[in-house]
Structure formats: structure tokens, C-alpha cells
């Protein structure tokens, strides 16, 4: 279905900027982000010099995606510590900035705990702040390592599920280096497939309303020379019907104890389509995204976002422009909109969950606890 021109690599220079970095004085202390609301047209850094600025960046999706939110939350707490602020309060502010991605609270609370332990050992404030920063850095490194392992396990799984080789993979939202300390989750599997000569096509759902697929995944796919095409979310059905999808690969914001998967809105319809068309639906997420404290999908808090994201097109996004500056209406003035940021895919629609500790079939959620226990990730109550 894809013609040759559309499939040839776009080839764009890699960005000079880090997705997220810690800045020391005199530039910092600060958490410096690649502002994802400006991509793909502009690569611009956003300097968050205090926790409220970072909370704003998280809410406006300048920084986003579950694993990166965890890393940002961790550095945010380190920032509060470096500024001599109330670290426990900063951790709660950051953890509450967005409700669905469990990694955000995980990262913030883990670094706050490192700070508290250092204080308990009667370290001075400066030493406790250093301990917090070291923990944030450890979290960042662990995520990069987890990403590489998930890519390996994920591609091995695809080889088992789809022995006939080069794969046509469909993905939703953005799950690459822009959400990770490494190369990402689901996208990292596609990238590895490409490097091994086993990717025929990456289908990129545009991901309404904020276009994380079209703006961000396509940007990453182009930079890495992947063969890809963007499609509207509503075109996925006809793509499956035409037999053009070999597997769906997505990430997750929270995986409940029963194996239910919360991910970007639009994931659940893809899972239903995949089931109908007998196509594997594979979730790729680190064990830090598994939340054994959430029993099932019904218990996941799904973030509801402003209806204006649906009724107005505003790009560059809200962090940089604001509705007044350059928004164009896509619905009549005053129209109300239903805008959940995530949906829940029940375990019976998920073929497998790939983590850095291994792969499980989530039909009963059995095995998730075991994988989490194997993980080197620190447990935070």
C-alpha cells in the first residue's frame, strides 16, 4: 500500500539538544528540557529553574511520556533539594501534576526518599541534596538500560510471533527517545527492527488531539531513517482490513495488577481492531510502569484534559503559544468536547507485555508481580 517514495527514509540531522538534562550553576540549578510542544518545527530548550516551572512544563506536555515523566519528577525533587526547599512537598506537587502515568509519582517519591534517608543519617542539607541528585541520575541511567533490554526482548518476541520477517508495525502516540533516558519503549523495538533489517514499514498513528504521533514519532522515525507513513487515527481500521499491519506496538502509562493497560487515548480501539484481525497487540513498558497497587483498569485515574485541545488547533502547543496566539477553531465557538488523555485496554486484548525483565502474557496479570520483584528498580510504597 505504501509507495516506494513514501517509504524511503527522510533523513534529518539529529538534534543538538538533550531531551532532558540537569544544569549546574551558573546556568542552573535547573532542569532543562527539549520543549516537545514546539516539535517538530523548532528544537528549543525550556529551562525550569524551580518546581512550579517544571510542574507547568509537565501539565502543558513540554515534557511527557511515562518514563521521561518519572525522570523529570526525580530531577524536579533534586531541584527542590538544591534550592533548599521542602522536598516532600515538592515531590507531592510533581507527583500530582498529571494523574495517569505512574512513573511520575514513582520518580518523584523515589528521589524524595533518597533525600530523606540522607537527612536521617544526619547528612547536612548539601549532602542530602547531592544524594537526591545522585538518585535522579541513577533513575535516568536505569531507564536507558531498561530501554535497551526492552528493545532486545521485544524484537525477539516479534521474531517468534511473526517468523516471516520484515515487519509492518503500527504504533500510537510517541514512545521513542523523547520519552526516555534511552531509545524508548515501543519505538525502541521498531528502531532495533530497522537496524537489523527487519522493519518493512512503521505505521504512525497521528494521535489526536495533540498529535504526538505525527509531530514526535514521525520526527524520530525520520531522524533515524525508518521507513514510515503517518495516518489519521481513523484510517487504522481500513489499514487492518487491507492486511497491512503485522503487529501493533504501544507503550503504557500504567499497567494495573490484572494486566489492564492505560495508554494514550486511541490505544483501546487499536486493540479491538487487532483482536478482530488476529494481529498481535504488544505493550512495551518498563516495570516502573507496572502498578501492583492499582488492582484493575477501573481503578486507573484517567486524566481529562481541556476540551479546547479538541475544538482548537494550537501549534506550537500550549506551553509556547496559548489559545489566543494562533489557535484556529475546529468546532463552533462554545462547543463542548470529551477529551480523556488515556484509555484502558483490558488484558484479554493484549498479546504480550514486554518489560526489561522479560515478556509475559497478561491475561490474568499473573507474572507481573514476579517481573517486578526481579527488577532492580527501587520499590516505593
Ligand X SMILES: CSC[C@@H](O)[C@@H](O)C(=O)COP(=O)(O)O
Identify the CA nearest to 345 among candidates 268, 269, 285. 268
Contact between 255 and ligand X (CB under 6 A)? no
Helix count (H) and strand count (E) of the chain? 12, 16
Contact between 263 and ligand X (CB under 6 A)? yes
152 in a labelled binding site: no
- DSSP letters spanning 264-316: ETTHHHHHHHHHHTT--EEEE--GGGEETTS-SGGGSPPPB--THHHHEE-SS
- Neighbouring residues of 275: CB distance < 8 A, sequence distance ≥ 6: 281, 349
Residue 331 is placed in which grid cell? 468546532
Segment near ligand X (CB under 6 A); pick from 162-170, 171-179, 312-320, 347-355: 171-179
Choose which of 264, 297, 316, 343 interacts with ligand X (CB under 6 A): 264
Whether 253 sits among the annotated catalytic residues: the reply is: yes
Question: How many whole angstroms separate alpha carbon 15 and alpha carbon 23?
Answer: 18
Residue 36 is placed in which grid cell? 516537545
Q: By CB under 6 A, how many residues form the interface with ligand X?
A: 17
Residue showing the smallest CB distance to ligand X in the complex = 251
Residues 310-369 that bind ligand X (CB under 6 A): 341
Q: Min. distance of Cβ 237 from ligand X in angstroms?
A: 20
64 in a labelled binding site: yes
Residue 325 is placed in which grid cell? 496566539
Q: Min. distance of Cβ 250 from ligand X in angstroms?
A: 6
Choose which of 34, 53, 60, 67 interacts with ligand X (CB under 6 A): 67
Contact between 173 and ligand X (CB under 6 A)? yes
Residues 77-106 that bind ligand X (CB under 6 A): 101
Question: How many whole angstroms separate alpha carbon 153 and alpha carbon 367?
Answer: 16
The 8-class DSSP code of residue 180 comes to S
Contact between 185 and ligand X (CB under 6 A)? yes
Active site residues: 253
- Residues of each annotated binding site for substrate: 64-66, 98, 212, 263-264
Annotated binding site: 64-66, 98, 212, 263-264
Q: Which residues bind ligand X (CB under 6 A)?
A: 61, 64-67, 101, 173, 175, 179, 185, 212, 251-253, 263-264, 341
Amino acid at each position: 500500500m505504501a509507495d516506494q517514495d513514501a517509504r524511503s527514509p527522510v533523513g534529518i540531522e539529529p538534534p543538538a539538544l538533550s531531551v532532558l538534562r540537569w544544569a549546574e550553576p551558573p546556568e542552573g540549578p535547573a532542569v532543562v528540557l527539549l520543549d516537545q510542544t514546539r516539535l517538530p518545527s523548532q528544537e528549543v530548550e525550556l529551562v525550569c529553574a524551580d518546581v512550579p516551572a517544571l510542574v507547568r512544563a509537565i501539565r502543558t506536555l513540554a515534557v511527557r511520556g511515562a518514563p521521561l515523566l518519572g525522570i523529570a519528577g526525580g530531577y524536579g525533587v533534586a531541584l527542590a533539594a538544591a534550592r533548599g526547599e521542602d522536598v516532600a512537598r515538592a515531590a507531592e506537587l510533581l507527583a500530582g501534576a498529571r494523574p495517569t502515568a505512574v512513573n511520575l509519582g514513582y520518580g518523584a517519591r523515589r528521589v524524595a526518599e533518597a533525600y530523606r534517608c540522607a537527612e536521617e543519617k544526619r547528612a547536612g542539607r548539601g549532602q542530602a541534596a547531592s544524594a537526591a541528585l545522585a538518585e535522579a541520575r541513577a533513575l535516568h541511567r536505569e531507564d536507558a538500560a531498561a530501554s535497551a533490554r526492552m528493545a532486545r526482548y521485544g524484537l525477539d518476541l516479534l521474531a517468534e510471533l511473526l517468523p516471516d520477517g520484515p515487519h509492518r508495525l503500527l504504533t500510537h502516540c510517541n514512545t521513542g527517545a523523547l520519552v526516555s533516558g534511552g531509545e524508548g519503549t515501543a519505538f525502541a523495538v521498531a528502531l532495533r527492527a530497522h537496524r537489523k533489517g527487519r522493519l518493512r514499514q512503521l505505521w504512525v498513528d497521528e494521535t489526536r488531539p495533540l498529535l504526538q504521533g505525527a509531530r514526535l514519532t514521525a520526527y524520530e522515525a525520520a531522524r533515524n531513517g525508518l521507513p514510515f507513513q503517518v495516518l489519521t487515527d481513523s484510517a487504522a481500521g481500513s489499514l487492518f482490513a487491507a492486511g497491512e499491519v503485522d503487529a501493533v506496538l504501544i507503550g503504557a502509562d500504567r499497567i494495573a495488577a490484572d494486566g489492564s493497560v492505560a495508554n494514550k487515548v486511541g490505544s483501546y480501539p487499536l486493540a479491538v481492531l487487532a483482536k478482530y484481525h488476529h494481529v498481535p497487540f504488544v505493550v512495551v513498558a518498563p516495570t516502573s510502569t507496572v502498578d501492583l497497587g492499582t488492582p484493575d483498569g477501573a481503578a486507573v485515574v484517567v486524566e481529562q484534559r481541556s476540551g479546547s485541545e479538541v475544538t482548537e488547533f494550537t501549534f506550537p502547543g500550549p506551553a509556547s503559544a496559548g489559545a489566543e496566539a494562533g489557535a484556529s477553531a475546529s468546532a463552533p465557538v462554545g462547543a463542548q468536547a470529551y477529551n480523556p488523555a488515556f484509555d484502558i485496554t483490558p488484558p484479554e486484548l493484549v498479546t504480550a507485555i514486554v518489560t526489561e525483565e522479560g515478556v509475559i502474557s497478561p491475561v490474568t496479570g499473573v507474572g507481573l508481580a514476579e517481573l517486578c520483584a526481579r527488577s532492580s528498580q527501587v520499590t516505593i510504597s
